[in-house]
Structure 1
Amino acid sequence: MAAQFRQSAQQKASSSSSEQQVARPGEVPCDVCTGTKLKGLKSCLVCLASYCETHLEPHLTASRLKRHQLINSVEKLEGRMCTKHDKLLELFCKTDQTCVCLLCTVLDHKRHDVVPLKEEYEDKKAELGKTEQLIQERRLKIQEIKRSVELSKEDADREIAGGVQVFTALKESVERSQAELIDTIREKQRKTEKQADGFIQELEQEISKLKKRSSELEQLSRTEDIHLLQSLPSLNAAPPTKDWTEVSVRPPSYEGTVVRAVNQLEETLSKQMKKLFEAELKRVQQYAVAVTLDPDTANPWLILSDDGKQVKHGEVFTTRFRLKGRESVNRKGQITLNPQEGYWTICLRNENEYKAAAGPAVRLSLKSQPETVGVFVDYEEGLVSFYEADAAALIYSFTGCFFTEKLYPFFCPYPNTGGKTPPL
């Protein structure tokens, strides 16, 4: 019977051990197990040991051991005990930034700022979590900046490739125009040389015939007078000659040749420039916004349309100025229109007098009156450009601008004096 009981107990222990988990790396092992260490389920703060399910049973059944304090299994239990009072370190002194036991708060840390250890742990854990979040945010920002640099490089490479293509085409156009100019001039010179060679050949032929007759006449002149007179009728008639008095070789006129070539080149360049502006205009049009005029900021002399898209002075709807202005500019009384005062302005005076109020004003030469004017602002680059939208042409650009505030469109209409004005 004893042998059977011993065998049954061993089988039960073996079965129980197989059901329990073996301690893995990083997990707290049972301090009692010999050989294969099982995972510790609880740690005793009195015994300063960790126990698996089997070896924990005495602490759950024996009356003396039941009084021991059990916690979830932890490593290095000695480090969790107060070395001075041999009590559990379950509090945290914020004043001294150290872990303390309950007796410490009464004796050595009296009137100190003491909180439960778990509370301080949660606070520090949250703080570490915030730090990790800040680190992660900055790593993402680094990735964002790197991506921006990559996109910028792609844009730069694309812009360089486009620029090289355009300038290569312009260079080829200039070289082609130069070659055509040289060919035109040389062709004129060849025609002149050909005409001169024809005249010289004809003159040399006449000289040859005249020299032959002169030789014959010279021989007859040596005979007696009667023989000379008798021989003259038998001579050939004098060869016909051309009247060269009015014949001359005039050098070709090259006047206007270079000018015409340059004008033709200018037309080619203008077509190329128009294509570039059309592409540029398409690029900036993606930032187009609908502008609605604010009646609260309108001058009392001005009347706005119901939809806020038109403004009139008197009886005629008109817009004489297209401007951009910063938020804090003065809009009352006498206004000085220049970038120094916060205005980037294109003005129309009289019928066809356009100016850029760049301080001093720059007179603009436009081929035609613009029907629709577009304003493009690049805040970061400090650029304000005015475009003639229909003709896909640049009117004027303010460069090197420095912006520190919000920018607003600003319109200043004047009474119409008869000339057409661009619509809003």
Structure 2
Amino acid sequence: MSSAPCRCPLCKEQFHIRPELRVKTVFSEMVSQFKQEAGSRSEVSKPGEVSCDHCSAPKLKALKSCLVCLSSYCESHLQPHLSVPGLKSHQLMEPVDNMEDRMCPQHHKPLELFCRSDHSCLCTMCALLEHQSHKFVSLKKEKASLQQQSRHMVKQRRKKIQELQSSVQLSQRAVDREKSTGLQAFSTLIESVQRSRERFIQELQEKHRHIQTQAEALIQQLKQEICELEQRSTEAEQLLRSEDHLHFLQHCPALPPTGLKDWSSVRLKLEPFEGTAARALTELEENLKETFTGEMKKVSKPKNKLLREQRFAVDLTLDTDTANVYLSVSNDLKQVHYTDQRMFLDSPQRFTYANILTKQSFSSGSFYFEVHVKDKTQWVCGVAKESVDRRYIKGLNSKYGYWCLNKESKDKYFAYTDPHTPLFLKRAPQKVGVFMDYDEGLVSFYDADTAALIYSFTDCSFTEKLFPFLNPYLEVLILIPAASRSAANRPRAAEGPGLMKPTEQHHLQTAEMRS
């Protein structure tokens, strides 16, 4: 039985007897595919591209440049650098032109170092012979340094943009506050003028009404007399028709009738309208002086900054739910001190260290409070974010949500910045005043008796509730109620609930501070 005819896979010619194939199709396809891939990788260099230094025309596009050989290579000429052991150690980089410019013209060695003293590129021989006392680094390190410096400069400028934008926002808020204060003062003055104007018009109208009432009464009386006279005149005319003169005289009504008023001397008593406007303006001037003085006191700055900020005084009470288990809090929730007895059961809201927050929190506006620290050797006071870690406290600076002032020993004070900022005070404060402006990102500490500024945290960024914060160490710290500050030393305090005065201070027991 004859076999089926064979067909050539290339030319499709049929053979009844299977011939010997003269072309290996699989290998041919592999070679063709390889040529296509090689052609795609080895492209002829275009203008502006780096060409291979070892290709004859046409020159192919270089894939790498060698910093040791100072030559650029296409794919085929690069193979020795990838396979020959002696060439594998050469430093390859992305293809670049003018490799000769990377050689030191004096020593004919590659430029590998950067002199920061002279701001120039060096070879190793230059560094050893001519730049021995200079500071130099590798080109890679200098490049990284410049990149980092550039990023830092960009970051600084972006931060400055944010600061400028923040300043504009703060300016707008200040304008809004001052505008509100000024408009209220002007409204009060305008209302005073309007009230004086209304009184002036009312006075004139009342005087006119008084004259009008008098005139109406006299006119009514005159009308009554006219009616009476007209009636008598009618009766007399009827009698005149009679020829009987005796009858006329006996019955004719008396003319003029008795009881009539002599109107010849009657005059209206006119009110003196002249001078009413002058008196009204004089009264307005006096009222405006008084009103103007009062409004000026409201809008004018107090004598010192602390007095201005004390207007935002608030009454605070300590939150026993946040107190460390060894802190003792007075019944009026104004005093706190450390004790060696466990006062509370532990809970997630409590601090591991001897810290405590107030019940009151603030998320906008301004507030001020004072802490009695007289004769205390150690204490911390300030404000803290609601989300601070109360179990594992790594630090009391702004990085961890605290803005605090600390007295560490007799004369050693510092602000909790990162790192700490030491403070050198002329006198130990007996009362520390804490002022915070949430919108402006400001927390300031004062000596409340001398109004001296101790320290200010500025340009803070607040995004959540803030709580007044205390750490008494082994001392007794007392929150001073806003109502107890001398009225002679402060303006009217912000409205708030009345609180009890602090009770007698607790006596401390000798104990070491526990964490």
Q: TM-score, normalised by structure 2?
A: 0.41
TM-score normalised to structure 1 length: 0.48
Select the structure with the greater relative contact order (CA < 8 A; seq sep ≥ 6). 2
Greater helix share, structure number: 1
